[in-house]
Amino acid sequence: MNQQRIRFELQVHTKDTTLACEFTPGEEVTFGRDDASGVRIPDESVSRLHAAVRLSEDGKFLIKDLGSRSGTNLNWIRLEPDESVRVRTGDRIRFGSTECVVRLPAGDGPDDEAAANAPEIPKAGHETRAGVDEFKTRGSLLLRLNASGTLEREIGWRDFYDRYVPLIKGFAGRAGAGGEEAEDVAHEVVANFFRASHRFEYDATHGRFRGYLKAATLNAMRARWRKRGGQVNLGEHDEVRIDDPGYVDDVWAQEWTRSVIERALEAVRSSGNQSEQSWEAFDLYGRRGVPAAEVAERLSMSPESIRQAKSRISRQVRAEIERIRTEEG
C-alpha cells in the first residue's frame, strides 16, 4: 500500500520562489547547491550538500546541518553539524545567505509530549511600562490550555499586554494597517479582552489560543474598518488583505513564530540559569554568526567553552519554544 506523501515548502524570503518536496515517513531529503541535492538552492554561499530535512515516523519534520561552510540557522540560532531540530510552519531557516520561511500545508504534526508537561520558566521581575496602567491592577486572564482543562496558566493583564501587543501590531501592520493604526488595533484587541470580564476564561476545547487570538485580531480590524471606512490610515498600503485566508494564515504564522522566539529568548535570559558571559557567547556565536575563535578571544573563553555555552542555551531556548507552542498553538 502506498504511504501518504506529506509536502514540505520553503518560501524564499527575497524572491517570489517556493522550494518544495514531498516526504514519506522516515524519508530524508538533502538541500544544497549541487544538482544531486534533493532540493537545489542556487546560491554560491550554500554548500553543495548543505542540510537535510527528515520526516519522522510520527509525522514531525526535523532539520540538520551537514557540516556546511556557511552554516544553517533555524529561527536565528545556528545549528551545530548533525544537530537535529524540529521545524514548524512559520519557522525561519537560513542556508548561507538564503533565508526561507517554512510552510507545512498538512500541519505541523503532533505536539511533543515532553513539552506538554514542561513547567513554565519563572519570569524575572520587570518595571511597569507606560501606557498599560489601566491593565496592571485589574485581575488576570485564565487560560485553560489543553482540551481536558487540566493545564491552566493565569496571566496578569500587564503580562498579557506585553506578551501579545507586539505580535498583534506586527500582524496588523503587514495585513494593511499603517503606523498608529496598527498600534490602535493591538490596544483595542487587549481592551476587548479586558472589558469582557474581570477574570476572562479561555477554554482550549474551542480551539488553540493562537487561532483564538488571530480571530479576535481580525474581528477588531474588520470592525474598525467598517466603522471608519476611507478614514482609516492604511499607510503605504493600497489594499487591505485581511480577507485573503492564505495570506492571513502565512503572515500570522510568521508573526506568531517571531513572538514565540522573542518570548523564549527573554524567558531563558532572565531565568538566571546562565552567566552574562555565557549568554554573550551564545548571542555572538549562536545568533550573530561570529566565529568561535573570535568570540573566544573577545570573551577570554576557550572555543570549546563557547560551543558548550551555545549548545546549552540553545537547548533551553528551543525547549521553551516547544513548551509555548504546545500550550498555545
Summarize pLDDT for 109-150 with one digit per residue, the tens.
888 766 655 667 766 554 444 444 444 444 555 554 444 444
Average pLDDT over residues 259-274: 93
Sign of the C-alpha dihedral computed for residues 237, 76, 261 and 104 taken in this order? positive
Determine contact, residues 76/284, Cβ cutoff 8 Å: no
Determine contact, residues 22/9, Cβ cutoff 8 Å: no
Pairing verdict, β 140-144 and 201-203 = parallel
In 3D space, the residue among 186, 197, 191 whose CA is nearest the CA of residue 141 turns out to be 197
pLDDT cut 70: percent of the chain above it = 78
Determine contact, residues 65/44, Cβ cutoff 8 Å: no
Residue 125 makes CB contacts below 8 A (sequence gap 6+) with: none
Amino acid at 122: P
Average pLDDT over residues 222-249: 65
Amino acid at 237: H
Locate the DSSP E strands across 183-279: 201-203
pLDDT at 288 over 80: yes
Average pLDDT over residues 58-66: 96
pLDDT at 184 over 70: yes
- Distance CA(172)–CA(188), nearest Å, equals 12
Query: Which one is the CATH code of 6-103: 3.30.1370.60, 2.40.160.20, 3.30.70.141, 2.60.200.20?
Result: 2.60.200.20
Pairing verdict, β 77-78 and 72-74 = antiparallel
Question: Could you tell me the maximum CA-CA distance found in the chain, to the nearest angstrom?
Answer: 61
Task: Please tell me the predicted confidence (pLDDT) of residue 140.
Answer: 54
pLDDT at 165 over 70: yes
- Distance CA(320)–CA(159), nearest Å, equals 17
Task: Please tell me the predicted confidence (pLDDT) of residue 151.
Answer: 52
Average pLDDT over residues 232-239: 47
- Compute φ and ψ for 274, nearest 5 degrees: -150, 155
Average pLDDT over residues 25-37: 96
In sequence order, the β-bridge partners of residue 153 are: 143
Query: Element (H or E) spanning 262, and its range?
Result: helix 245-270
C-alpha cell at 316: 533551553
Pick from 16-25, 92-101, 203-212, 293-302: least confident: 203-212
Band of the pLDDT at 244, cuts 50, 70, 90?
confident
**Residue 230 DSSP class:** G
User: How many CB atoms lie under 10 A from the CB of residue 218?
Assistant: 19
Average pLDDT over residues 294-315: 95
C-alpha cell at 205: 476545547
Pick from 4-8, 29-33, 96-100, 118-122: least confident: 118-122
Q: Is 75 left (phi over 0), alpha (psi -120 to 50) or beta?
A: left
In 3D space, the residue among 95, 236, 101 whose CA is nearest the CA of residue 176 turns out to be 236
Task: Please tell me the predicted confidence (pLDDT) of residue 147.
Answer: 47
In 3D space, the residue among 91, 109, 93, 10 whose CA is nearest the CA of residue 254 turns out to be 91
What does the pLDDT look like over 136-147, one tens digit per residue? 444 555 554 444
pLDDT at 204 over 80: no
Q: Where along the chain do its domains lie?
A: 6-103, 113-258
More confident residue, 23 or 189: 23
Mean pLDDT of the chain: 83
Task: Please tell me the predicted confidence (pLDDT) of residue 1.
Answer: 54
Task: Please tell me the predicted confidence (pLDDT) of residue 195.
Answer: 73
pLDDT at 46 over 70: yes
Task: Please tell me the predicted confidence (pLDDT) of residue 272.
Answer: 86
